[in-house]
Amino acid sequence: MFAVTRLRVATGDAAALADAVARLLAALAGRPGFRDGEVGRAADDPALWALVTRWDGVGAYRRALSAAEVKIAGAPVWVHAVDEPGVYLTD
């Protein structure tokens, strides 16, 4: 499965968000079931970013998000999250 979190970020906050996402990805990398992750900015809207992560399954993803180090690393990222569904199952 994969998760997509879209982030709306003011231009002046882009460098800080990039650093925060790097810390979050490092924390996620230490969790069981994490496969990989990446972040990118929309070509048409530089204030819109997407964080994509891939997991062994929904359970691994949910357990990872409940880990203290992930919550701490994720707080400065998720404050920019667009409120929408973001977990997708692959067949």
Per-residue pLDDT tens over the stretch 30-64: 999 999 999 999 999 999 999 999 999 999 999 99
The answer to whether residue 56 is domain-embedded is: yes
The domain total for the chain is 1
State the CATH number of the domain containing residue 43: 3.30.70.100
Instruction: Point out which residues pair with 48 in neighbouring strands.
Output: 8
Q: What is the mean pLDDT of the chain?
A: 96
Nearest by Cα to 19 from 4, 39, 3: 39
What range defines the domain where residue 26 resides? 2-82
The answer to whether residue 75 is domain-embedded is: yes
> Helix crossing, 68-78 with 14-29: angle to 10°?
160
Q: How confident is the model at residue 65, as a pLDDT?
A: 97
- pLDDT over 90 at 9, yes or no: yes
3-state secondary structure of 39: strand
Q: How far is it, in rounded angstroms, from Cα 48 to Cα 17?
A: 12
11 pLDDT band, cuts 50/70/90, is confident
